[in-house]
């Protein structure tokens, strides 16, 4: 068995809820030693249930287990001099600190970046907040739902005649956790060259604005804000959910040839070469009529029949799975995405290496499980 890529990296996590712990869990999966410092009452998400995971005498919410795998749990009371001294002792030989307190929240304990950098000048200190370390909103608490609204993400999600919609998971928290890992690894690489650590300032709003991606460029290019289009794609068509006789499937054509093959398998050969649908720009201009005809044809076919026909003809299509179907999907099974650690279920981090392994050794820790070990 190969080593995990980040074996030997020591991370102190002073974070709770989701974005910070997600970054910590990702580093842990990659082989880092992650020591989660918890208050005597523990991470709030331990109680965010039901459902709960019962392990020996510990009962913690599934939510907590989804984002704290592989870590050690050490109880520390930051408000006491003893607790503050304990943190400084742990940080003295650490590589990384992850924290998600409000701006200035750790300064009164002497646990902010400026203070801990004096203890360990090589420290990479990642601060995760809603709005960053500066700017007019820096003092505000950040919540994923609110950030989804402020960032524009909800303005482009949902049906045109319905309410703006958030995503089904806390996507700005998750993205911030992933971007935080990227920033941490970049700072560590820079430390290899300079010998110095630094602070990495991650803000949920920055991340959420960044991942508006092509929709942001649609606006910046035209000066016109994109609107909600339900399951349709602003820049491509046909690329949406279609009705079937027994449900719905996704058809996502990415070029003219795929569109033409779709028309032919639906017995709509006249549409394949029609000038009003010949290129994507033409299909965008005549989207409403085109989709109505295509949907009329898909509605006469069963989901399995149409998916098989699309597969056979090289037309990108897929089902809309519930999570029970996801876990039973042969591709998900083949890739080993569902795991179990000491009887606690989980989802594997999506990294596959040719010469390294993930460090999937233990489930999320019980509160204070490792206090005596450190």
Are residues 180 and 126 in contact, defined by beta-carbon separation less than 8 angstroms? yes
Are residues 178 and 184 in contact, defined by beta-carbon separation less than 8 angstroms? no
Residues written for the chain: 374
Are residues 16 and 76 in contact, defined by beta-carbon separation less than 8 angstroms? no
Segment (H or E) for 239? strand 239-244
Place of tokens 């991942």: 211
Please tell me which residue in 29, 144, 173, 206 is annotated as part of the active site.
Answer: 173
Helix extents (H) in the chain: 19-29, 62-65, 81-91, 113-119, 144-150, 171-194, 204-210, 213-222, 256-265, 269-272, 280-285, 287-298, 303-313, 323-328, 330-334
Q: Is 44 a catalytic residue?
A: no
The 3-state secondary structure of 283-352, one letter per residue: HHHCHHHHHHHHHHHHCCCCHHHHHHHHHHHCCCEEECCCHHHHHHCHHHHHCCCEEEECCEEEECCCCC
Distance of alpha carbon 70 from alpha carbon 22, whole angstroms: 12
Residues with catalytic function: 173
């Amino acid at each position: 068995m190969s080593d995990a890529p980040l074996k030997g990296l020591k991370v102190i996590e002073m974070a709770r809820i989701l974005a910070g712990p997600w970054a910590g869990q990702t580093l842990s999966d990659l082989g880092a030693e992650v020591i989660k410092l918890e208050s005597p009452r523990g991470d709030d998400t331990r109680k965010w249930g039901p459902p709960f995971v019962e392990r020996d005498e510990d009962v913690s919410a599934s939510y907590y287990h989804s984002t704290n795998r592989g870590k050690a749990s050490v109880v520390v009371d930051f408000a006491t001099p003893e607790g503050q001294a304990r943190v400084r002792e742990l940080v003295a030989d650490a590589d990384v600190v992850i924290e998600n307190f409000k701006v200035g929240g750790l300064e009164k304990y002497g646990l902010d970046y400026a203070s801990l950098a004096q203890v360990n000048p090589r420290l990479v200190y990642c601060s995760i907040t809603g709005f960053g370390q500066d700017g007019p909103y820096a003092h505000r608490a950040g919540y994923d739902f609110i950030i989804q609204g402020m960032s524009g993400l909800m303005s482009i999600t949902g049906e045109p005649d319905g309410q703006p919609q958030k995503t089904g998971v806390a996507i700005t928290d998750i993205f911030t956790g992933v971007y935080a890992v990227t920033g941490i690894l970049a700072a560590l690489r820079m430390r290899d060259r300079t010998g110095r650590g630094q602070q990495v300032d991650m803000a949920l709003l920055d991340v959420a604005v960044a991942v508006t991606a092509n929709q942001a460029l649609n606006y910046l290019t035209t000066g016109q804000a994109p609107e909600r289009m339900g399951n349709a794609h602003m820049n491509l068509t046909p690329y949406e959910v279609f009705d079937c006789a027994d449900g719905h499937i996704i058809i996502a054509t990415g070029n003219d040839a795929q569109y033409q093959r779709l028309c032919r398998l639906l017995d709509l050969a006249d549409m394949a070469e029609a000038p009003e649908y010949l290129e994507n720009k033409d299909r965008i201009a005549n989207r409403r009529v085109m989709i109505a005809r295509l949907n009329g044809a898909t509605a006469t076919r069963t989901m399995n029949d149409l998916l098989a026909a699309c597969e056979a003809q090289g037309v990108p299509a897929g089902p809309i799975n519930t999570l029970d179907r996801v876990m039973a999907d042969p591709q998900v099974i083949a890739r080993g995405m569902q795991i179990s650690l000491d009887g606690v279920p989980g989802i594997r981090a999506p990294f596959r290496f040719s010469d390294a392994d993930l460090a999937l050794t233990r489930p999320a820790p019980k509160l204070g499980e490792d206090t005596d070990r450190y």
